[in-house]
Chains A and B, each alone.
Chain A
Amino acid sequence: MLEVRNLNVVRGATHVLKDVSLTVREGELTALIGANGAGKSTTLLTLSGLLRPKSGEIRFTADGSELDLARASSEKIVRHGLIHCPEGRQIFQSLTVAENLEMGAYTRKDPGQVKKDMERVLTLFPILAERSDIPAGSMSGGEQMMLAIGRALLAKPKMLLLDEPSLGLAPQIVETIFDVIEQLKETGVTILLIEQNAAMALDIADQAHVLENGRIVLSGSGAELAANDRVRQSYLGGAA
């Protein structure tokens, strides 16, 4: 579904991504793990058209039609079904919860289906229905994360990019969020998940890649990587 080949991205004077290649297969959850500054967020920003690669190819195929993400505009990428739920949630604080969800569906032209999806999101996160008319910025961090995911779902993603959904959240809420991610996967949404919480990410991932200093250093199934000594030492707390 997504094919990244020899991707190089330069930000300012820094060569952030070096010859990154990875594949995300349809219907699977692929995790990208790595330390702070390894280039995880840069990868996602490049996929959604906010950063332009220096070289390399990115092909995204959905419903049989292919899009060159290295060149397409961010609007076109969203319309093609690649939806990015960004790091730090980035909800619209001054807009109401309902307006944030409407922004999620901004590019869609099927109001009937949007309404159904809205109901689905509000069933998934009942708190959002309660808070519907208040400014989103006045909600707690966990509620804002639910809103960010709800907003992404209203865009009707064929593939979802999730950037650190657990960042700064209480463990209980992290569990809720991960439950939702698993449910999404079961409904057939392809997911590329970035996480510092490598243990949880590898636990639910079909495939995983480890990014170190802008290079993919390891790839394999979630279970393989979770069992890998190097991964265990660097990312899983080193427990033998």
Chain B
Amino acid sequence: MTQYLFQQIINGLALGSLYALVAIGFSMIYGIVRLINFAHGDLVMIGSFSTLALVAAGIPWPLILLFVLAVGAMAGMMIETVVFRPMRGSSQVTGFIATLAVSIAIQNSALMVLTGQPRNFLFPAYMRQRLELGGVSASLTDIIIIVLTLLLIAGLFLIVYRTRLGTAMRATAENLTAARLMGVAVNRTILAAFAIGSALAAVSGLFWGGKFGQIDPLLGFVPGLKAFVACVIGGVGSIGGAMMGGYILGLAEVLFVGLLPQEYSGYRDTFVFLLLIVILLVRPSGLFVRQSGERA
């Protein structure tokens, strides 16, 4: 039983890491341009296919991680420059539809270039072994995902709360006009938020492939949707909230499947969305945001 529960928790934390990485970027982008970016999930797909290409090119794994971060950042900056920037100042509905259009465009271009055929995606053998730890064991892949995610998030918090760029990003997210009056080049700050958020989503794609072993051009939809849920649970616009929301969601999903009788396991998403509804009924602005204001 201990082993079983431990396994479930590790599994849930790994899945939660994937959601958290996507949710954080989602939340950063919403926080700064006040738009729900529906194309954000597709960066997960871009990240996983870039990984595949880089593996095929024979690049060593630690470097692949850096490359995927860079590819994600560039894709995010392109989306912001081409789609979001011209939309600045138009109504939310317009922006919302534009991001849907971007998502559909990315998915269909990927289908055209890569075909709908799922590809096998494997971490090298040494990453797939099991790790024994005093009576319990866990897959090294999950441990790697959890540890690297925590490191990436720690790095993100350092940037956001300890650097000039981070302060400018938070200032811009709160009050764009006042940030301009301070001489902040807000377009550059927004670009940075897109780059960072998208890089994290792309790395989530790398992990996604490693964890599930198979990828296809439409795989971004589910993580995008789950990241949205994670953000809502944690409080939209708050980075810490998005992270916690991701972990709560991942753990809840795995524990629903693991602890409920077998015949309910097909309904895991039903339970997840029920959980969302309950949380929204009790704390409408999310779990980690002061309830009075719009957001922290």
| Beta-carbon contact of A104 and B182 below 8 Å | yes
| Beta-carbon contact of B171 and A103 below 8 Å | yes
Residues of A within 8 A of B152 (CB): none
Taking A75-B185, A90-B181 as contacts, is the C-beta distance between A103 and B168 under 8 angstroms? yes
Residues of B within 8 A of A104 (CB): 182
Q: Which B residues between 111 and 170 are near A, CB-CB below 8 angstroms? A: 164, 167-168, 170
Nearest Cβ on chain A to B176's Cβ, whole angstroms: 10
Tell whether A50 is near chain B: CB-to-CB under 8 Å: yes
| Beta-carbon contact of A107 and B183 below 8 Å | yes
Tell whether B100 is near chain A: CB-to-CB under 8 Å: no
Taking A90-B175, A92-B175, A94-B296 as contacts, is the C-beta distance between A50 and B181 under 8 angstroms? yes
Give the docked Cα–Cα distance between A84 and B180 (Å): 10
Residues of B within 8 A of A91 (CB): 178
8 Å CB contact of B183 from A86, A94, A95, A155 = A155
8 Å CB contact of B167 from A75, A79, A95 = A95
Tell whether A190 is near chain B: CB-to-CB under 8 Å: no
| Chain A residue nearest in CB terms to B173 | A94
Tell whether B184 is near chain A: CB-to-CB under 8 Å: yes
Tell whether A102 is near chain B: CB-to-CB under 8 Å: yes
Residues of B within 8 A of A46 (CB): none
Give the docked Cα–Cα distance between A186 and B121 (Å): 71
Q: Which B residues between 43 and 85 are near A, CB-CB below 8 angstroms? A: none
| Beta-carbon contact of B174 and A106 below 8 Å | no
Taking A91-B178, A92-B178 as contacts, is the C-beta distance between A74 and B170 under 8 angstroms? no
Taking A75-B184, A78-B183 as contacts, is the C-beta distance between A103 and B167 under 8 angstroms? yes
Please report the total number of B residues contacting A with Cβ < 8 Å: 17
Tell whether B177 is near chain A: CB-to-CB under 8 Å: yes
Residues of A within 8 A of B170 (CB): 92, 94-95, 99
Give the docked Cα–Cα distance between A99 and B185 (Å): 17
| Beta-carbon contact of A99 and B177 below 8 Å | no
Residues of B within 8 A of A77 (CB): 183
Residues of A within 8 A of B171 (CB): 92, 95, 99, 103
Residues of A within 8 A of B181 (CB): 48, 50, 74, 78, 83-84, 86, 90
Nearest Cβ on chain B to A211's Cβ, whole angstroms: 21
Tell whether A93 is near chain B: CB-to-CB under 8 Å: yes
Give the docked Cα–Cα distance between A213 and B181 (Å): 26
Residues of B within 8 A of A94 (CB): 170, 174, 296
Residues of B within 8 A of A49 (CB): 180
Residues of A within 8 A of B177 (CB): 50, 86, 90
Nearest Cβ on chain B to A133's Cβ, whole angstroms: 13
Residues of B within 8 A of A50 (CB): 177, 180-181
Q: Which A residues between 90 and 120 are near B, CB-CB below 8 angstroms? A: 90-95, 99, 102-104, 106-107
Taking A50-B181, A78-B181, A106-B184 as contacts, is the C-beta distance between A92 and B174 under 8 angstroms? yes
Residues of A within 8 A of B168 (CB): 103, 106
Residues of B within 8 A of A73 (CB): 185
8 Å CB contact of A93 from B174, B179, B183, B185 = B174
A-contact 0/1 string along B178-205, CB 8 Å cutoff: 1111111100000000000000000000
Nearest Cβ on chain A to B132's Cβ, whole angstroms: 46
| Beta-carbon contact of B183 and A106 below 8 Å | yes
Nearest Cβ on chain B to A165's Cβ, whole angstroms: 15
Nearest Cβ on chain A to B91's Cβ, whole angstroms: 15
| Beta-carbon contact of A155 and B182 below 8 Å | yes
Nearest Cβ on chain B to A27's Cβ, whole angstroms: 23
Taking A92-B170, A94-B296, A95-B170 as contacts, is the C-beta distance between A106 and B182 under 8 angstroms? yes
Give the docked Cα–Cα distance between A86 and B181 (Å): 8
Give the docked Cα–Cα distance between A74 and B176 (Å): 12
Taking A50-B177, A94-B174, A94-B296 as contacts, is the C-beta distance between A99 and B183 under 8 angstroms? no
| Chain B residue nearest in CB terms to A102 | B167
Residues of B within 8 A of A75 (CB): 180, 183-185
Residues of A within 8 A of B182 (CB): 78, 103-104, 106-107, 151, 155
Give the docked Cα–Cα distance between A73 and B187 (Å): 12
Nearest Cβ on chain A to B120's Cβ, whole angstroms: 46
Nearest Cβ on chain A to B99's Cβ, whole angstroms: 25
| Beta-carbon contact of A74 and B178 below 8 Å | no
Residues of A within 8 A of B178 (CB): 86, 90-92
Binding site for A on B (CB under 8 A): 164, 167-168, 170-171, 174-175, 177-185, 296
Q: A75-B180, A86-B178, A99-B171 are in contact. List 5 more A-B contacts (CB 8 A).
A: A86-B181, A95-B171, A103-B182, A106-B182, A107-B182
Binding site for B on A (CB under 8 A): 48-50, 73-75, 77-79, 83-84, 86, 90-95, 99, 102-104, 106-107, 151, 155
Q: Ordered nearest first, which 7 A-B pairs have the shortest CB separation?
A: A78-B183, A107-B183, A90-B178, A74-B180, A106-B182, A75-B183, A92-B171
- Mind listing 6 A-B residue pairs with CB under 8 Å? A50-B177, A86-B177, A91-B178, A93-B174, A94-B170, A104-B182
